[in-house]
A and B are shown apart, each in its own frame.
Chain A
């Protein structure tokens, strides 16, 4: 009798185990299928860009064979761009604007986030919310009033205006990330530093910045992405090629009237994508850790 009962129990347990195993398997298949769709969607455009950039203008316009494959691969588009002075100028302008934007944004964000999250002055909560709300204002609403300001500063058609403008996009979100990150650092750490003899700036420099490095890297990547990829402001405020940055330089220089130099445009896009790819590849782990660390205190 007891043998029968125990056999039945084993059978029930085995059935449960099997059904759990099957459920897990289906969940796994589902995940892979969804991931495959995403990977396909996100990799097809760069693949097409790469294929087109390796084609000569003749092959692109021939319209024979599959557009997804290259019959006679060539690097002539890349070589043209690398040796093209305007493209070099766009690249250099983008690099200068981005380095300065990231530096300015990070200095402001780190200082703002530290004071808002740690110094607990009157109105700091309200100010934190206010900082985030400014991020919600779309740039398209701002570029006409900003045109007035930039104009009054005499910076229209001068890429330095971007160093002033981009931080307005980057600082609120970077500050928000940093507030989250700084808030996750135990309060006792600053108290220990205060007792050890540190002032607020020493505490920030020697304790908070090293401890919050993943958050700082995440915010830096965000500021970099904003600055490197921004299109609207340079389109609105820059109109000569010696002042342009990559995003507007590529389309204004490589699209002449109704002639699209597709091979060169695609090659330029790939060359312009190189810095973000390199930065993301090296810092992705920090980026994810930095974005999620502030979410939960622990």
Chain B
């Protein structure tokens, strides 16, 4: 599921950047951009907001790179910053009256829920859209404690260890919450699992 890049390389890459090789940051962005955008998208439910916030997170991380402690995994740090940024964004959004119900936002969301497909038939397109919406609905219905772990695991592609470090919870709790969250998802998405 992961990008295939060993995590020990992250610390080496950061060290190279801090020595002045700014271009090495490009490798870190390429390594994590897909995972970060997808993680944020599942929390924010808007592709535009997710990509904008992911960009902000990368910039924030770059500026604070000298404070990175190599004894922890870079991915854990990155996703912690992203998680805090997403929570801030969600809080701010709740304070705004109009933004949630603007027609433009809804169009953006529904478009984003479609499965990416190069050339789908109209039926396939409709089916993909239905599945995308069903998945998002099920994720949204999960209790927050399960939802964030499911999203970290399946969209952030973090390992159990990384999630445990990020959430500061015992490994057993991570396994248990993922187990329960997935059981709930399986029940609700049962019709789509046999496709």
Question: Do A and B interact?
Answer: no
Interface residues of B (CB under 8 A from A): none
